[in-house]
């Protein structure tokens, strides 16, 4: 879930239509230390730049990692509004009354974003999955994207063409440290060989290129990007079966942040008015990723 400066390739951009039909994400609104001011039934009442206690008055500071990967960001530039998470960030800002020139971006490594302690951002969008364990250290907005974990490889690898999770038991798999992809690899696939841990997805890709591992477990959109832009002969083996409630990405905020209710209200409004579904259709895709049995 850390990214390299790359443009989303045309093949990926052309494949963005199918995910739009999957519906917008749903998540329970997290508990927070404050509620939006005002007595209106509109949950966004009182959620204005004048009322919100941001790090810098009148400015919304959004964090993400660097490099910033596609399809979440384009050309390693979160400020250009391109890519799913960049577009979502500006849509949230708009719902809260911040013009684009009042949005400031901060470089925040993935592990720093979810660690306890004061934050250098008001909210962080960095493909961070909502989990009860992480909620002990940070707040989350409601989910802005449903996640499926995926296994990718290279043509002709030992797992190319495999169709079931059981077929992957003997594979040498890798995943980024501290991610739900790593959890899925170790718990859902549970291969006989220890899952290799990498500080970044770039390092995992390099290991796959060198055939030091057979495959990488990543979220589906990142899997599409890796196979289209980072691997000359990359292929998607398949999506891992969904288990229980869907995994979701949520905006990260400081624990007990007074902004949490308003950011959640903004995400919920974007879901309700169809914006999230539209952005999913514009930037993400599930085409070409079969289901593993």
For residues 4 and 225, the answer to whether their CB atoms sit within 8 Å is no
- Tell me, what's the pLDDT at 220? 92
pLDDT digits (tens, 9 = 90+) for 232-243: 999 999 999 988
Contacts 24+ apart (CB under 8 A), 268-275: 268/29, 268/43, 268/142, 269/43, 269/44, 269/95, 270/88, 270/91, 270/92, 270/95, 270/144, 271/24, 271/25, 271/26, 271/142, 271/144, 274/24, 275/91
What value does the mean pLDDT take over residues 64-73?
92
What value does the mean pLDDT take over residues 260-275?
98
- Tell me, what's the pLDDT at 284? 87
In the chain, % helix, strand, coil (3-state, to 5) comes to: 30, 20, 50
Residue 246: band (very low, low, confident or very high) from pLDDT cuts 50, 70, 90: confident
Residue 105: band (very low, low, confident or very high) from pLDDT cuts 50, 70, 90: very high
pLDDT at 156 over 90: yes
Higher pLDDT, 221 or 278: 278
Q: What mean pLDDT, rounded, does the chain reach?
A: 88
Q: Please give the span between the terminal C-alpha atoms of the chain, in angstroms, as a whole number.
A: 25
Higher pLDDT, 243 or 97: 97
Residue 228: band (very low, low, confident or very high) from pLDDT cuts 50, 70, 90: confident
Burial tier of 194 (Cβ tally within 10 Å: 0-12, 13-18, 19+):
exposed
Burial tier of 145 (Cβ tally within 10 Å: 0-12, 13-18, 19+):
buried
Backbone angles phi, psi at 257, to 5 degrees: -60, 135
Which residues 6+ apart lie within 8 Å of 158 measured at CB?
A: 170, 171, 214
What value does the mean pLDDT take over residues 151-169?
97
């Amino acid at each position: 879930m850390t990214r390299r400066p790359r443009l989303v390739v045309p093949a990926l951009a052309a494949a963005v239509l199918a995910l739009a039909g999957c519906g917008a994400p749903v998540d329970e609104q997290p508990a927070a230390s404050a509620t939006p001011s005002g007595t209106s039934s509109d949950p966004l009442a009182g959620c204005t730049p004048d009322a919100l206690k941001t790090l810098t008055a009148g400015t919304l500071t959004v964090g993400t990692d660097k490099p910033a990967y596609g399809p979440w960001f384009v050309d390693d530039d979160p400020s250009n509004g391109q890519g799913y998470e960049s577009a979502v960030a500006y849509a949230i800002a708009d719902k809260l009354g911040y013009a684009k020139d009042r949005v400031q971006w901060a470089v925040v490594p993935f592990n720093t974003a979810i660690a306890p302690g004061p934050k250098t951002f008001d909210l962080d969008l960095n493909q961070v999955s909502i989990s009860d364990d992480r909620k002990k250290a940070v707040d989350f907005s409601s989910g802005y994207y449903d996640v499926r974990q995926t296994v990718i490889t290279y043509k002709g690898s030992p797992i190319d063409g495999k169709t079931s999770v059981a077929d992957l038991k003997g594979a040498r798999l890798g995943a980024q440290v501290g991610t739900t992809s790593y959890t899925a690899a170790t718990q859902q696939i549970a291969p006989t060989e220890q899952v290799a841990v990498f500080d970044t997805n770039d390092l995992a890709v390099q290991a796959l290129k060198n055939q030091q591992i057979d495959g990488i477990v990543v979220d589906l959109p990142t899997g599409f990007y890796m196979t289209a832009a980072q691997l000359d002969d990359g292929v998607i083996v398949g999506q891992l079966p969904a288990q229980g409630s869907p995994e979701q990405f949520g905006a990260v905020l400081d624990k007990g942040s007074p902004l949490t209710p308003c950011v959640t209200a903004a995400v919920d409004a974007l879901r309700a008015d169809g914006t999230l579904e539209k952005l999913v259709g514009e930037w993400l895709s599930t085409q070409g990723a079969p289901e593993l049995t």
